Structure 1
Amino acid sequence: MDQGEIATFKAYYLRRLIRRVRKLIHKIDGESSIQQFWKNYSIVYAVDNTSESWKELQSTTMNHVWKKIWPECIKTNEPEVSSLSEIRQNILNLAKNLGFEDLEEGNLVDLLDADREPLSDDELTS
């Protein structure tokens, strides 16, 4: 996939994750609720979050990927809908509502781009 589509998917994933944290915090008061969330977060939640985030990707986004790989298979000339900046802003607003007032868009971009570089052998073995 194209890096723009990967970034969009990761942003959807993070947004869904923060929404889930927010929902839990409304049920349980205190900072320990975030810790409790992570203690209870399982592979089942991660797979569910991945599935639901994948469903959010728009066909125009995926057409953009396929147009680069196999242009003959794309029959539409719809422009790519890029809402990554809107998703990032939504994530920032959600995070700030959870008490992460110091979070800035640059921090969020760093988080979403953190794994763009492949890990070195040393990083994989340490």
Structure 2
Amino acid sequence: MTDLRKTLKASLTEARARLEAALKEEGFGILTEIDVAATLKARLGLERPPYLILGACNPSLAAKALEAEPDLGLFLPCNVVLRQEGEEIAVLVQDPEGTFALLPEGVRAKLGTLPQEARERLARALARL
């Protein structure tokens, strides 16, 4: 699995607020949210610790990626996971370099350094937590 990780001693609410602020400093916003624990509870009656999947997007990077290859929408937005691990919150960020490495060489060539730039921005945001 290709991701960037950090563990925080914080509540889910606090971790999310810190994450969103750090992402904003790097030009990312949250486009989508999936509350996995609530969905599993509502649909299957399963109790799970808090688990959120957030879809983070940097509009200028997304526009460049889609200009290079319109089908890259399948890889957007970057998923960010916040999940409860005991008394801590694990923060996992999808690594764009690892994800885009799955693409054919021709598409990767069109992207140039974009996946690396996205990874660097996401890693800096994670480091701010």
TM-score by length of 1: 0.27
TM-score by length of 2: 0.26
Question: Per residue, is there more strand in 1 or in 2?
Answer: 2
Question: Per residue, is there more helix in 1 or in 2?
Answer: 1
Larger Rg: 1
